[in-house]
Amino acid sequence: MLPNPILFGKPLNIWLGLLALILLILQILIGRRIIKVPFSYHTNIVWKILLAVVLLHAYYGFEIYFLQ
């Protein structure tokens, strides 16, 4: 069981979900070359951070829904 502290009035899990949404949009914008940053951000960096954030967010969701 990971702690889910309240930050700025909302549980950490909510912030992780918002961060995941922002990273997904960023990944698509870089993939479609809409924003001008090196393409290696798409293939090397952002997707790994996105994957980690999504797995953590999903784990919290599972824990809240099924284990409480």
- 11: part of which helix (H) or strand (E)? strand 10-11
Q: Residue 4: phi, psi to the nearest 5?
A: -125, 70
Selected from 13, 16, 42, 53, the binder of ligand HEM by CB under 6 A is: 42
Residue in this structure with the two tokens 């951070």, named with its chain if needed: 49
Closest CB to ligand HEM among 10 and 40? 40
Residue 45 engages ligand HEM in binding (rule: CB under 6 A):
no
The footprint of ligand HEM on this chain (CB under 6 A) covers a number of residues equal to 9
Instruction: Tell me the closest approach of the beta carbon of residue 43 to ligand HEM, in angstroms.
Output: 4
Closest CB to ligand HEM among 10 and 48? 48
Ordered alpha helix ranges (H), the chain: 12-31, 40, 47-66
